[in-house]
């Protein structure tokens, strides 16, 4: 399907997408943390890769990834216009995500990546709970 917006309008729309403070991802997860009693998280924590949330005492770094920007295998759709650019852009994002994951894990951090759609279906809770359990097991060793 061709883009319904002109090139200029699409550029304007895309320029407004922010990597921090996104209501559909970060603000939503913050409200879910509050509603579900998750404590100890911080935002804007200075750590490699700039995680969206960090639980410093547990060494858990949480990233909320949009399906488009991070190339979800089934939900991430590449635009039909300027396709080569977008494929390169998304592949660079995925490579950076792998580097961030590897670097943080080598430093002893547990990395949790949550897809934006998982904020709606509850999988985010399972991933965070699993990370908390893993942090407790590491602490006991």
In which band, very low, low, confident or very high, does the pLDDT at 126 lie, cut at 50, 70 and 90? Answer: very high
pTM of the predicted model as reported, rounded to 2 decimal places: 0.84
Angstrom distance (rounded) from CA 2 to CA 20: 29
In this structure, the strands spanning 53-55 and 60-65 are antiparallel
For 16-60, write each residue's pLDDT tens digit.
555 555 667 889 999 999 999 999 999 999 999 999 999 999 999
Higher pLDDT, 80 or 131: 131
Mean pLDDT of the chain: 89
Angstrom distance (rounded) from CA 6 to CA 4: 7
Mean pLDDT to the nearest integer, 125-138: 96
Beta strands in the chain (DSSP E): 53-55, 60-65, 110-115
User: Which CATH code, of 1.10.3720.10, 3.40.250.10, 3.40.960.10, 2.30.40.10, is assigned to 41-140?
Assistant: 3.40.960.10
Higher pLDDT, 19 or 104: 104
Q: How is the chain split into domains, by residue range?
A: 41-140
């Amino acid at each position: 399907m061709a883009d319904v917006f002109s090139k200029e309008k699409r550029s304007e729309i895309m320029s407004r997408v922010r990597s921090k403070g996104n209501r559909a991802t970060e603000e939503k997860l913050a409200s879910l943390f509050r509603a579900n009693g998750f404590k100890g998280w911080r935002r804007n924590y200075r750590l490699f890769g700039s995680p969206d949330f960090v639980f410093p005492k547990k060494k858990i770094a949480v990233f909320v990834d949009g399906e488009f920007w991070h190339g979800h295998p089934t939900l991430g759709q590449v635009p039909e216009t300027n396709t080569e650019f977008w494929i390169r852009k998304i592949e660079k994002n995925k490579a950076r995500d792998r580097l961030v994951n590897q670097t943080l894990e080598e430093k002893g951090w547990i990395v949790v990546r949550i897809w934006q759609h998982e904020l709606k279906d509850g999988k985010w809770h399972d991933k965070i709970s699993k990370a908390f359990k893993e942090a407790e097991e590491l602490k006991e060793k």
